[in-house]
């Protein structure tokens, strides 16, 4: 299996895309460290049991990705458990709420920037430090390459109605990904982003709850479809494998062609 002996850390690990990604990475032998927010604690056990059949090898860590202390503690715990070589980080936590741009409350704007941009910055830093330390300690030429995959959005590339703060946060995440790729590529870590159109998860349902808006959107997409979480997960899985060695700093859109029109 392509990812045997590798540990994948997934922020947003019990969310819709996070679960699909965890299953895909695990199917290729990766050990998992799922990060969940403190306010999700009650759903962790049931979600892991439902998605992974209660497998004992799935480790989960409480981590509010917007808090530097919480991120440090979670990554320290992951390093201490030392389950497998920490070679993959997937940033799949996220936040959306729709507001007219001129009326967006400051705390709502800040939630987008904190969860969708500041959070992946902190987890990226913590992961990069953990990877570099583990590589140094392993002293082997054969350590696996590092992989960061940030789940951005088509909203990084196009204005979506009433998605102002979300669009800005995701455009920032694509920019951050390029800098991760540039600075950490020479240190053995590639970084890429995936930009899906709407996916029918809890977050997707929140953004596209309005039936008329949803139908108008679907009529405008060349394929006419929302994406499935598994589609996103398959791209993440490909980017995490050795064969994707030279894909670095790019963004893969998965939007049914919406942004080409
Ligand atoms: N679904 C879509 O249409 C779509 C399209 C394009 C891009 N994306 C992106 O894909 C990623 C995954 O989203 P999803 O669709 O899988 O949504 P989801 O099922 O709602 O998962 C997002 C997860 O992030 C968690 N989270 C929120 N705040 C957090 C924090 N401070 N610290 C740690 N975790 C936190 C959420 O917890 P709670 O559920 O408790 O809030 C949830 O488990 C997000 O970055 C999203 O922006 C989604």
**72-85: per-residue pLDDT in tens?**
999 999 999 999 99
- What is the average per-residue pLDDT within 55-70? 93
> Per the domain annotation, does 217 fall within a domain?
no
CATH of residue 61: 3.40.50.720
19 CB less than 6 Å from ligand 1? Answer: no
Q: What Rg do the C-alpha atoms of the chain give, in angstroms?
A: 18
C-alpha dist (Å) from residue 72 to 64, 78, 240: 10, 10, 24
The phi, psi pair for 139, rounded to 5°, reads: 45, 30
Residue 116 burial (10 A CB sphere; 0-12, 13-18, 19+): buried
> Per the domain annotation, does 219 fall within a domain?
no
9 CB less than 6 Å from ligand 1? Answer: no
Residue 141 scores a pLDDT above 80: no
> Per the domain annotation, does 206 fall within a domain?
no
Residues 95-135 pLDDT 10s: 999 999 999 999 999 999 999 999 999 999 999 999 999 99
How crowded is residue 54: how many other Cβ atoms within 10 Å of its Cβ? 11
Confirm if 240 and 25 have CB atoms less than 8 A apart. yes
DSSP state of 118: I
Q: How far is the CA of 198 from the centre of ligand 1 (A)?
A: 12
pLDDT band at 43 (very low <50, low <70, confident <90, very high): very high
Chain-centre distance for alpha carbon 67 = 17
Which range marks the domain in which residue 33 is found? 6-197+229-254
pLDDT band at 57 (very low <50, low <70, confident <90, very high): confident
> Per the domain annotation, does 24 fall within a domain?
yes
Give CA–CA dist 153/172, Å, rounded. 11
- Count up the domains in the chain and report the number: 1
Per-residue pLDDT, 142: 82
DSSP state of 199: B
Give CA–CA dist 232/98, Å, rounded. 23
The fraction of the chain above a pLDDT of 90, given in percent, is 96
> Per the domain annotation, does 176 fall within a domain?
yes
60 CB less than 6 Å from ligand 1? Answer: no
Q: How far is the CA of 204 from the centre of ligand 1 (A)?
A: 9
């Amino acid at each position: 299996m392509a990812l045997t002996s590798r540990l994948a850390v997934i922020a947003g690990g019990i969310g819709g895309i996070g679960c699909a990604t965890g299953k895909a990475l695990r199917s290729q032998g990766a050990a998992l460290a799922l990060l969940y927010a403190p306010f999700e604690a009650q759903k962790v056990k049931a979600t892991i049991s439902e998605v992974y059949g209660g497998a004992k090898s799935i480790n989960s860590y409480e981590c509010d990705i917007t808090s530097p202390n919480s991120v440090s503690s979670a990554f320290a715990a992951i390093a201490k458990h030392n389950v497998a070589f920490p070679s993959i980080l997937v940033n799949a936590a996220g936040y959306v709420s729709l507001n007219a741009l001129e009326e967006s409350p400051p705390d709502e704007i800040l939630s987008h920037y904190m969860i969708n941009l500041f959070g992946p910055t902190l987890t990226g830093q913590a992961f990069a430090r953990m990877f570099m330390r583990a590589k140094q300690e392993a002293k082997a030429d054969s350590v696996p390459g590092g992989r960061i995959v940030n789940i951005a959005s088509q909203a990084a590339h196009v204005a979506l109605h009433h998605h102002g703060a979300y669009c800005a946060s995701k455009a920032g995440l694509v920019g951050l990904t390029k800098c991760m790729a540039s600075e950490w590529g020479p240190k053995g870590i590639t970084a890429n982003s995936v930009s899906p159109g709407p996916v029918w998860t809890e977050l997707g349902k929140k953004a596209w709850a309005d039936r008329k808006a949803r139908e108008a959107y679907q009529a405008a997409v060349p394929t006419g479809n929302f994406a499935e979480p598994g589609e996103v997960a398959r791209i993440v899985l490909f980017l995490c494998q050795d064969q994707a060695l030279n894909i670095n700093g790019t963004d893969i859109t998965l939007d049914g062609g919406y942004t080409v029109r």
